Amino acid sequence: MILYIILLSLLIIYFVITICGLECFSLENFNSNNSKIRELTDKKYRFAVIYTDKRLPMVEKLEKDLDVKLERWPAVFTNSCPRNKNYSMYAKKFCSTCRGLSIAHKEIWHDFVNSDSNYILIFEDDAQVESIGKIDEIYKKLNNIEADITYMGHCYGHLCLHAYVLTREGAKILLENIQTCGAAIDEQLSQMITDNIIEAEFVKNPGEKKHWTQGLFHQVGKTDGDGSMQSYHDMKKPT
């Protein structure tokens, strides 16, 4: 009888592999419905994403991977400021959409500081979990936030804002210092960190896949120029 059960089990496994392939058993395709991340709402956590319609499937994938519902904040698209044009000093280009991106982030910060929440995890719609196998690690980090801003994902040192956590105090500091004109929002923030205006932590992720972004969340695309909310033009340096 035991031999019969073993043979039957092997036969079932064989048919499953035949039908959908070995990838059905891949850790990358495994979604844990027992994620503890949504339990963080009990600690007055909020989860938000700035999205564009074309990236909604990615937002839904992120929600599925984290087993949490994200507040969906529409991206803002508007022209650059007429005098102090928006630009990226890192890319050495003007950025015609960076003003709208700054406005979108600031709208969430403003709403957050006027709520009774203690923390907020903010995504841009091109964020993705670096590995499903790191969900527990993500939960542990979210459960142990100390800095004003914690970069769950980052690039080129202190840049990129595709995944970060703010405390209420951190959001207040950003609202007092970030401008919607001039330098890109992540570059302004990087300078604030250098000037010790805000305390930041950059999450390391040993063993992560090779990618141009780092941390527990990566940004899709080959470079930041692939983003759905950034549009750069000409190589003239801003003066």
Model confidence pLDDT, tens digit, residues 168-184:
999 999 999 999 998 99
Q: Would you say residue 189 lies in a domain?
A: yes
Q: Using the structure block, give the residue that is written with the tokens 């700054």.
A: 102
Q: Are 238 and 83 spatial neighbours (Cβ–Cβ below 8 Å)?
A: no
pLDDT 10s digits, 42-70: 668 999 999 999 999 999 999 999 999 99
Q: Tell me the C-alpha distance between 138 and 149, whole Å.
A: 15
CATH code, domain with 105 = 3.90.550
Mean pLDDT of 144-166: 94
Q: Would you say residue 24 lies in a domain?
A: no
Q: Is the dihedral of CA 80, 84, 85, 86 positive or negative?
A: negative
Q: Would you say residue 30 lies in a domain?
A: no
Q: Are 152 and 217 spatial neighbours (Cβ–Cβ below 8 Å)?
A: yes
Q: Tell me the C-alpha distance between 175 and 216, whole Å.
A: 26
6 falls in which pLDDT band (50, 70, 90)? low
| pTM listed for this prediction | 0.80
Q: Would you say residue 216 lies in a domain?
A: yes
Please give the C-alpha separations between residue 230 and each of 77, 82, 87, 162, 174, in angstroms, as whole numbers: 10, 18, 11, 12, 20
**pLDDT value at residue 179:** 94
Q: Are 179 and 85 spatial neighbours (Cβ–Cβ below 8 Å)?
A: no
Name the average pLDDT for the chain: 81
Instruction: Give the residue numbers spanning the domain of 199.
Output: 36-233
Q: Based on the structure, what is the number of domains in the chain?
A: 1
Q: Would you say residue 22 lies in a domain?
A: no
pLDDT at position 33 over 70: no
Q: Which of 32-41, 89-98, 100-109 has the highest mean pLDDT?
A: 100-109
Q: Would you say residue 156 lies in a domain?
A: yes
- The H or E element that residue 127 is part of is strand 127-129
Q: Would you say residue 9 lies in a domain?
A: no
Q: Would you say residue 23 lies in a domain?
A: no
pLDDT at position 209 over 60: yes
20 falls in which pLDDT band (50, 70, 90)? very low
Mean pLDDT of 198-211: 87
